[in-house]
Amino acid sequence: MHFLEKDYFMFDMDGTLYLGNQLIDGTLDFLRCLKETGRRAVYFTNNSSKSVGSYVEKLKRLGIEAKPEDFFTSVNATVLHLQKRSFHKIYAFGTTSFKEQLAKAG
Protein backbone atom coordinates (compact mmCIF):
# COMPACT_ATOMS: atom_id res chain seq x y z
CA MET A 1 0.00 0.00 0.00
CA HIS A 2 1.50 3.29 -1.14
CA PHE A 3 0.15 5.31 1.80
CA LEU A 4 2.18 3.19 4.23
CA GLU A 5 5.33 4.82 2.89
CA LYS A 6 4.32 7.81 5.05
CA ASP A 7 4.90 8.08 8.81
CA TYR A 8 2.58 10.92 9.74
CA PHE A 9 -1.09 11.30 8.83
CA MET A 10 -3.06 14.52 9.24
CA PHE A 11 -6.84 14.30 9.34
CA ASP A 12 -9.58 16.85 9.24
CA MET A 13 -12.28 15.35 11.42
CA ASP A 14 -15.85 16.28 10.54
CA GLY A 15 -16.61 15.01 7.06
CA THR A 16 -13.40 12.97 6.87
CA LEU A 17 -13.49 10.61 9.87
CA TYR A 18 -17.12 11.13 10.82
CA LEU A 19 -20.27 12.99 9.91
CA GLY A 20 -21.96 14.31 13.04
CA ASN A 21 -21.91 11.30 15.35
CA GLN A 22 -21.52 8.64 12.64
CA LEU A 23 -18.14 7.21 11.67
CA ILE A 24 -17.37 7.09 7.97
CA ASP A 25 -16.97 3.50 6.77
CA GLY A 26 -13.40 2.27 7.01
CA THR A 27 -12.24 4.88 9.53
CA LEU A 28 -11.53 2.47 12.40
CA ASP A 29 -9.84 -0.07 10.14
CA PHE A 30 -7.61 2.58 8.59
CA LEU A 31 -6.63 4.12 11.95
CA ARG A 32 -5.98 0.65 13.39
CA CYS A 33 -3.70 -0.10 10.43
CA LEU A 34 -1.77 3.10 11.06
CA LYS A 35 -1.32 2.30 14.74
CA GLU A 36 -0.30 -1.31 14.10
CA THR A 37 2.37 -0.19 11.63
CA GLY A 38 3.79 2.56 13.87
CA ARG A 39 2.33 5.53 12.01
CA ARG A 40 1.00 8.62 13.77
CA ALA A 41 -2.41 10.21 13.26
CA VAL A 42 -2.97 13.89 14.09
CA TYR A 43 -6.40 15.48 14.03
CA PHE A 44 -7.16 19.01 12.83
CA THR A 45 -10.25 21.16 13.13
CA ASN A 46 -11.17 24.75 12.45
CA ASN A 47 -14.08 24.57 14.90
CA SER A 48 -13.13 26.78 17.84
CA SER A 49 -16.34 26.13 19.77
CA LYS A 50 -15.09 22.86 21.29
CA SER A 51 -12.04 22.16 23.40
CA VAL A 52 -9.46 19.50 22.66
CA GLY A 53 -10.87 17.57 25.63
CA SER A 54 -14.27 17.57 23.95
CA TYR A 55 -12.75 16.12 20.79
CA VAL A 56 -10.84 13.46 22.74
CA GLU A 57 -14.14 12.42 24.33
CA LYS A 58 -16.04 12.48 21.03
CA LEU A 59 -13.48 10.30 19.28
CA LYS A 60 -13.50 7.94 22.25
CA ARG A 61 -17.29 7.60 21.97
CA LEU A 62 -16.79 6.77 18.29
CA GLY A 63 -14.19 4.11 19.14
CA ILE A 64 -11.06 6.12 18.33
CA GLU A 65 -8.40 6.39 21.03
CA ALA A 66 -6.64 9.75 20.94
CA LYS A 67 -4.68 11.92 23.35
CA PRO A 68 -4.80 15.72 23.63
CA GLU A 69 -1.40 16.01 21.96
CA ASP A 70 -2.89 14.33 18.86
CA PHE A 71 -4.94 17.46 18.05
CA PHE A 72 -4.31 20.84 16.48
CA THR A 73 -7.22 23.26 16.49
CA SER A 74 -7.89 26.75 15.23
CA VAL A 75 -7.48 27.89 18.85
CA ASN A 76 -3.99 26.36 18.90
CA ALA A 77 -3.18 28.30 15.73
CA THR A 78 -4.61 31.49 17.23
CA VAL A 79 -2.52 31.09 20.39
CA LEU A 80 0.65 30.57 18.35
CA HIS A 81 -0.16 33.64 16.25
CA LEU A 82 -0.77 35.80 19.32
CA GLN A 83 2.38 34.57 21.07
CA LYS A 84 4.50 35.16 17.98
CA ARG A 85 3.33 38.76 17.88
CA SER A 86 3.71 39.18 21.64
CA PHE A 87 0.10 40.18 22.24
CA HIS A 88 -0.61 39.94 25.95
CA LYS A 89 -3.88 41.78 26.30
CA ILE A 90 -6.71 40.97 23.95
CA TYR A 91 -10.47 40.99 24.01
CA ALA A 92 -11.83 37.77 22.59
CA PHE A 93 -15.27 37.40 21.03
CA GLY A 94 -16.43 33.81 20.77
CA THR A 95 -17.85 30.84 22.58
CA THR A 96 -17.13 30.17 26.23
CA SER A 97 -14.90 27.26 25.23
CA PHE A 98 -12.92 29.49 22.84
CA LYS A 99 -12.33 32.11 25.54
CA GLU A 100 -11.45 29.49 28.16
CA GLN A 101 -8.88 27.92 25.84
CA LEU A 102 -7.29 31.30 25.17
CA ALA A 103 -7.21 32.13 28.88
CA LYS A 104 -5.66 28.76 29.71
CA ALA A 105 -2.92 29.43 27.15
CA GLY A 106 -2.16 32.71 28.88
Strand (E) or helix (H) holding 101: helix 96-104
Active-site pick, 7, 12, 29, 70: 7
25 a catalytic residue? no
Residues 6 or more apart whose Cβ sits within 8 Å of residue 98: 48, 49, 75, 92
Query: 72 has which bridge partners?
Result: 44
Would you say 72 and 42 are in contact if contact means Cβ atoms under 8 Å apart? Answer: yes
Would you name the residues annotated as active-site residues?
A: 7
